[in-house]
Amino acid sequence: MVIKESILTNNPCYKQGRKINVKGLMLHSVGCAQPSASVFIKNWNKASYDKACVHGFIDGNDGTVYQTLPWDYRGWHAGGAANNTHIGVEMCEPGCIKYTGGATFICSDIPTAQIVATRTYTSAVELFAMLCQMFNLDPLADGVIISHNEGHKRGVASGHVDPEHLWRQLGLAYTMDSFRQDVNTILNANMAEASKQEKNYSRAVMNEAEIFAFLREQGLNDLGAAGLMGNLQAESGLSAINLQNSLNKSLNISDEDYTMLVDNSNYKDFITDKAGYGLAQWTYWSRKQALLEFAILKGTSIGDARMQCEFLMKELRENYPAVLTILKGATSVRQASDAVLLWFERPKDQSEKVQIKRAQYGEAIYKRCAGKEPVQIIQPVQESFRVKVSIPNLNIRKGPGTNFDRTGKCTGIGVFTIVEVKDGAGSAAGWGRLKSGAGWIALSYAERL
């Protein structure tokens, strides 16, 4: 069913602007040989046309519904009290009939006329089902859906016999009872579809413990899961519908509404808006596109936490296997957190300060979710590196600083591997622990290779 809005704004009925509390729907047929709705609309949309006004016309040539009054306006269609309670809709009639007196007509082309009448009947059924849903009406309840003819018999409409006279004379089996039954069938189908869609778009919400459990099921160890989650905490506060704040502001939209618009395909810029969204604040267009496609595939809301967790794992597996390996075998929260920050999330600010903050989030999560104290508190993960010593008498000390005793040995000239760096007195570049286990040397006297 196609509905086009074509409000009769010049008609005095529209100008009166009276509203009704919609209790029912009245079906009419125009009572003349004119299949084109636009002819009626043109004639009725005049200040001088004060005889009638209806809520819609159904075109006989293509079945299009033209809405000609707001649905809750009081129309002039029934010629009786039904105007105060019922929406009125006119079906256009075949052009090949000819009225010979009253409601009696002859027809030059019965098959064509039957096709036109069937077309308008079908659109009317769909329109009435939609209106029943809109106004919460029961199509089978007494007096809700009535014809002009039935309205007359009930004393709420003038003495017309439409539209049953049309169906009967064209030899169609349609009756108002069949019409009500058909509306009811379509209404039930529409309601079932709507509730199915609602179910599809239900949105799983996961709390911290649930996300942690999910990641553990996926093979991350406690430290890895916590390190990853510290980053998610920093990105989104662990809210799967979180939209980057700057877009909340510029679009003047809440996280909920943004999510709903994307789910209903009413927001077309999801992929291209460059706004971080979801647990990991996916931002880059190709990642947002993949996220959207994944949500559609899974039949979930874009803001579904479980779907996003699954997508996150898919990304790690397919595009960031080295990060995933670290998360499965992490030996500290900081190690896991840094891997996610530097290789996966890659925000603009990746400074030491940010690294520590995220690792702290992760360590707090580790405490709460794994129930253990973090082994290594926010210690940076240091990779070993090599240094070149060019002086023969560089002392090796027992600790990082001139305040620690000398071991009595020197490195000699050569290249040495450093496995840990600490600040300490007597060396602005810090102190490096030798891989050999011999002790610490002042890095101010060594050249990093």
CA pair distance 327, 126, nearest whole angstrom: 55
Least distance CB 151 / Zn ion (angstroms): 8
Determine, following the binding rule CB under 5 A, whether residue 288 of this chain makes contact with Zn ion: no
Least distance CB 61 / Zn ion (angstroms): 20
3-class DSSP assignment, residue 432 = strand
Least distance CB 150 / Zn ion (angstroms): 11
CB contact at 8 A, 230 and 360: yes
Q: Which two tokens stand for residue 2?
A: 């196609």
Please pick, from the candidates 74, 148, 165, 288, the single residue that binds Zn ion as defined by CB under 5 A: 148
Least distance CB 76 / Zn ion (angstroms): 11
CA pair distance 345, 357, nearest whole angstrom: 14
CB contact at 8 A, 434 and 422: no
Determine, following the binding rule CB under 5 A, whether residue 150 of this chain makes contact with Zn ion: no
Return the exposure string of 407-441: e unless at least 16 CB atoms fall within 10 Å of the residue's CB, then b.
eeebbeeeebebebbeebeebeebbbbbeeebbbb
Computed from CA positions of residues 115, 117, 121, 123, in that sequence, does the dihedral angle turn out positive or negative?
A: positive
From the list 6-14, 159-167, 299-307, 317-325, the region that binds Zn ion by CB under 5 A is 159-167
From the list 140-148, 176-184, 378-386, 441-449, the region that binds Zn ion by CB under 5 A is 140-148
Peptide bond into 163 cis (omega under 30): yes
Least distance CB 147 / Zn ion (angstroms): 8
Instruction: Closer to Zn ion by CB, 78 or 144: give it.
Output: 78
Determine, following the binding rule CB under 5 A, whether residue 160 of this chain makes contact with Zn ion: yes
From the list 157-165, 247-255, 318-326, 428-436, the region that binds Zn ion by CB under 5 A is 157-165
From the list 108-116, 152-160, 206-214, 236-244, the region that binds Zn ion by CB under 5 A is 152-160
Q: How many CB atoms lie within 10 A of CB 225?
A: 29
Residues 20-39 that bind Zn ion (CB under 5 A): 28
CA pair distance 365, 222, nearest whole angstrom: 10
Q: Which two tokens stand for residue 361?
A: 């989030």
CA-angle at 42, arms to 39 and 47, nearest 5°? 145
Residues 161-190 that bind Zn ion (CB under 5 A): 162
Tell me the one-letter amino acid at 326. I
Least distance CB 105 / Zn ion (angstroms): 15
Burial class of 45 by CB neighbour count within 10 A (0 to 12, 13 to 18, 19+): middle
Instruction: Closer to Zn ion by CB, 28 or 357: give it.
Output: 28
Least distance CB 75 / Zn ion (angstroms): 11
Instruction: Closer to Zn ion by CB, 160 or 203: give it.
Output: 160
Instruction: Closer to Zn ion by CB, 124 or 302: give it.
Output: 124
Residues forming the site for Zn ion (CB under 5 A)? 28, 148, 160, 162
